[in-house]
């Protein structure tokens, strides 16, 4: 169905020329017989009229395809049939006029001619309708994908909003415990890491994708705070291939790995092992 993705003039022209050959195939089959029947005096006129017939049918197909694919946006098949039929009828009358003027054997009425115009009418109407249905399907799929993205963004925002207050109070508790131990260096380091983490979280709504290196810097700051708060009972092991650090990943995508619920209250160690295959 990729043929309907873009209706370029060249593509429509090629389709018209190819289908024009199929349309006049009966004329091609009887060309030699008609050529011999008319005699040598009318050979040139017969050849020119044959070329005119092919170009006229190809041009009519191009006109109907262009109208159905680019101009007529109605999803109602009946309306499309009526419009296409009226244009085909106008083309039929014009063809009859040229036939009287140019052909050594005018085509006022023949079953083959009517069949050819009917095939052109039906082909162009069906192509237009199928292309319209395909475009509508693509548009709806894009809308669904957009809604999915918006839903994921909303869930992400909700998760971030839940993390901020909870994490904030836990971080203050960790800072309080460090201050009580009167360890100024650890307290300053803890405050620096805390500011880095909060700055990253607060700016996350403005970022879609970040490098793995940026996300790991956040993870390291976060893990330091968690280790201090839990009195070294939590262990993080990060093993990343240096060549992978420029990869783009969604912001805060590693955070759920660090915030999984405790599996048991007796557990004293939690291991996060990010391997080089990431």
Percent of the chain, pLDDT > 70? Answer: 73
* In contact, 190 and 174? CB cutoff 8 Å: yes
pLDDT band at 87 (very low <50, low <70, confident <90, very high): very high
More confident of the two residues 209 and 262: 209
pLDDT band at 221 (very low <50, low <70, confident <90, very high): confident
Is 0.75 topped by the overall pTM? Answer: no
- Write out pLDDT tens, residues 42-83: 667 777 878 888 899 999 999 999 888 888 877 788 889 999
Identify the residue whose tokens are 């912001």: 251
On the question of pLDDT at 99 being above 60, the answer is yes
Q: How many CB atoms lie within 10 A of CB 197?
A: 20
Structure confidence at residue 103 (pLDDT):
64
* In contact, 24 and 52? CB cutoff 8 Å: no
- Structural domain boundaries of the chain? 2-143, 181-274
Structure confidence at residue 264 (pLDDT):
37
Beta partners for residue 249, in sequence order = 210
Helix (H/G/I), strand (E/B), else coil: 76: coil
Structure confidence at residue 82 (pLDDT):
92
Structure confidence at residue 29 (pLDDT):
75
More confident of the two residues 159 and 250: 250
In angstroms, the CA 148 to CA 72 distance is 31
Q: Phi/psi at 273 (nearest 5 deg)?
A: -120, 105
**H or E stretch at 237:** strand 235-238
Structure confidence at residue 166 (pLDDT):
66
Q: What is the DSSP letter of 261?
A: P
User: What is the distance, to the nearest Å, from the Cα of residue 166 to the centroid of all Cα atoms in its chain?
Assistant: 39
With 0-12 / 13-18 / 19 or more C-beta atoms within 10 angstroms meaning exposed / middle / buried, residue 217 is: middle
More confident of the two residues 140 and 8: 140
Structure confidence at residue 277 (pLDDT):
42
Percent of the chain, pLDDT > 90? Answer: 10
In angstroms, the CA 82 to CA 85 distance is 5
Q: Which of 40-44, 185-189, 259-263 has the lowest mean pLDDT?
A: 259-263
Structure confidence at residue 273 (pLDDT):
47
In angstroms, the CA 90 to CA 83 distance is 11
pLDDT band at 231 (very low <50, low <70, confident <90, very high): low
In angstroms, the CA 20 to CA 54 distance is 6
Structure confidence at residue 118 (pLDDT):
92
Non-local CB neighbours of 2 within 8 Å, separated by 6+ positions: none
In the structure encoding, which two tokens stand for residue 155, read together? 């869930």
* b/e burial code for range 178-192 (CB count within 10 A of at least 16 → b): beeeeeeebbeebee
What mean pLDDT is reported for the chain? 76
In angstroms, the CA 7 to CA 15 distance is 11
């Amino acid at each position: 169905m990729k043929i309907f993705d873009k209706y370029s003039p060249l593509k429509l022209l090629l389709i018209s020329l190819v289908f024009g050959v199929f349309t006049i195939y009966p004329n091609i089959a009887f060309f030699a017989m008609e050529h011999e029947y008319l005699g040598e005096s009318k050979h040139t006129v017969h050849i020119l009229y044959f070329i005119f017939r092919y170009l006229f049918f190809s041009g009519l197909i191009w006109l109907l395809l262009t109208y159905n694919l680019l101009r007529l946006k109605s999803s109602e098949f009946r309306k499309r049939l009526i419009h296409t039929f009226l244009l085909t009828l106008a083309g039929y009358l014009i063809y009859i006029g040229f036939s009287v003027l140019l052909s050594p054997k005018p085509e006022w009425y023949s079953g083959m001619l009517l069949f050819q115009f009917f095939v052109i009418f039906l082909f162009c109407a069906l192509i237009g309708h199928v292309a319209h249905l395909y475009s509508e399907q693509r548009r709806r799929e894009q809308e669904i994908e957009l809604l999915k993205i918006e839903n994921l963004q909303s869930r992400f925002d909700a998760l971030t909003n839940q993390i901020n207050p909870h994490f904030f109070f836990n971080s203050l508790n960790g800072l309080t415990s460090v201050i009580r131990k009167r360890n100024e260096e650890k307290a300053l380091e803890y405050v620096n890491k805390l500011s880095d983490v909060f700055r990253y979280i607060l700016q996350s709504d403005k970022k879609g994708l970040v490098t793995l290196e940026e996300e790991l810097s956040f993870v390291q700051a976060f893990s330091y705070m968690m280790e201090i708060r839990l009195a070294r009972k939590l262990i993080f092991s990060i093993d990343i291939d240096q060549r992978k650090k420029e990869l783009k990943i969604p912001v805060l995508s590693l955070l759920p790995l660090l915030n999984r619920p405790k599996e048991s209250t007796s557990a004293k160690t939690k291991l996060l092992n990010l391997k080089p295959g990431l």
